[in-house]
Amino acid sequence: MPRKFVISPTKLRIWNRCHAEYRLEYIDKIGKFYHRARAGFAFGHSLHRVLETFHAAGGVETVNAETLSASLDAAWVAKGYAGEAQETEFKQEAARILTDYHAAQVVQAETAKAEAVRKGEPAPEPPRLFLAEKALRMDLTPDIALTGRVDRVDEHPALDNALEIVDYKSGRTEVTPEDVSGAVAMNTYQAILKVKNPDRRVFATIVALRSGASASHEMSNDEREAFLADTTETGETIRTKDWENVLPVVNAHCPYCDFLPHCEKFWAREKRRQH
Ligand code: SF4
């Protein structure tokens, strides 16, 4: 049986910003010649690794702030930095983020307990880790599957075992509910989890690690159906695309794109050909 075409938030993001980039990345597959290690990516990856281990070990109930900070050394990805000074600066920032993250988690847990005492209720069961760094997948059609990799999913006993998708953003200081509702990745995770867990509430939260700010959104049934219909249509368009004539066209993303040297050579060749 032929393999299904798999669509993902990354593929959708690239397709939406430049069809030629999609071709170079996934059809021509020449990304390995152009992608560069980036400090921001390595920094984010390091923090993700530390937080994954922290939550898998039980979070603030079992791991103190010192242990969390100390785990940074083992998880640190030392690629993509401009030099030792820049790497040190990023590492110090990562340590600060982890210290603040731990303190905020403690406050959150203590606030929930204090609220229960005030209401004369038993202390609420803390959220449990449901999934960590896990690929989710569902079929959209017999030919297309949708997939996405979640950072973390918590299960909340105090909310009838609702599932909360938690996504860390290491470069941001602010986030709004509109950011969450407009994020293709968050919609992908929510849609798949809800389809697989129809009897539970499913909502998504983005945590801006640099400030600790967070925002959430819960997809309505209508939003989920519209998202899945749009994604199916886009997936079918990409799956059946004739790539021969998909060529680079200058757009707003070009200055930030790893393929720019490739496209500049193409444009120079085209110019010479026309003269
Ligand atoms: S450089 Fe511009 S045209 Fe070329 S792939 Fe990147 S975004 Fe697309």
For residue 221, what is the domain's CATH number? 3.40.1350
Count structural domains, the chain.
2
Together in a domain, 56 and 156: no
Together in a domain, 131 and 230: yes
Together in a domain, 136 and 119: no
Q: How far apart are CA 118 and CA 127, in angstroms?
A: 20
Together in a domain, 116 and 74: yes
Q: What pLDDT, on a 0 to 100 scale, did the predictor assign at position 210?
A: 93
Pocket test for ligand 1, best of 15, 22, 27, 257 (most atoms within 8 A of CB): 257
In a domain, 148, yes or no: yes
Domain, as residue range, for 184: 127-241
Q: How far apart are CA 240 and CA 20, in angstroms?
A: 15
In a domain, 203, yes or no: yes
Residue 14 Cβ contacting ligand 1 at under 6 Å? no
Atom 3, ligand 1: which residue's CA is nearest? 248
User: pLDDT under 70 in the chain at which residues?
Assistant: 1
Together in a domain, 58 and 121: yes
Residue 253 Cβ contacting ligand 1 at under 6 Å? yes
Axis crossing angle, helix 184-196 with helix 9-17, rounded to the nearest 10? 150
Measured in angstroms, how far is the CA atom of residue 268 from the centroid of ligand 1? 14
Tens digit of each residue's pLDDT (9 = 90 or more) over 66-86: 999 999 999 999 988 999 999
Exposure letters 70-84 (e unless 16+ CB within 10 A, then b) = ebbeebbbeebbeee
Residue given tokens 């509702």 in the structure block:
181
Q: How far apart are CA 59 and CA 53, in angstroms?
A: 9
Together in a domain, 37 and 113: yes
Give the gyration radius of the chain's Cα atoms.
22
Per the structure block, which two tokens stand in for 122? Answer: 């038993």
Q: How far apart are CA 227 and CA 188, in angstroms?
A: 8
Of 61, 38, 52, whose CA–CA distance to 113 is shortest?
A: 61
Of 7, 48, 261, 4, whose CA–CA distance to 167 is shortest?
A: 48
Per the structure block, which two tokens stand in for 166? Answer: 């938690």
Measured in angstroms, how far is the CA atom of residue 262 from the centroid of ligand 1? 8
Residue 76 Cβ contacting ligand 1 at under 6 Å? no
CB proximity list for 207: less than 8 A, separation 6 or greater: 166, 167, 168, 169, 175, 213, 214
Last residue of a domain, one of 125, 157, 180: 125
Atom 5, ligand 1: which residue's CA is nearest? 21
Model pTM score: 0.89
Q: What pLDDT, on a 0 to 100 scale, did the predictor assign at position 20?
A: 98
Together in a domain, 227 and 148: yes
Q: What values do phi and psi take at 116, rounded to 5?
A: -65, -40
Residue 254 Cβ contacting ligand 1 at under 6 Å? yes
In a domain, 262, yes or no: no
Residue given tokens 């920032």 in the structure block:
93
Together in a domain, 136 and 99: no
Residue 13 Cβ contacting ligand 1 at under 6 Å? no
Pocket test for ligand 1, best of 13, 14, 18 (most atoms within 8 A of CB): 18
Measured in angstroms, how far is the CA atom of residue 266 from the centroid of ligand 1? 11
Q: What pLDDT, on a 0 to 100 scale, did the predictor assign at position 1?
A: 67
Residue given tokens 């193409």 in the structure block:
266
Q: How far apart are CA 53 and CA 72, in angstroms?
A: 10
Q: What pLDDT, on a 0 to 100 scale, did the predictor assign at position 123?
A: 83
In a domain, 261, yes or no: no
Together in a domain, 107 and 134: no
Pocket test for ligand 1, best of 19, 262, 263, 270 (most atoms within 8 A of CB): 263
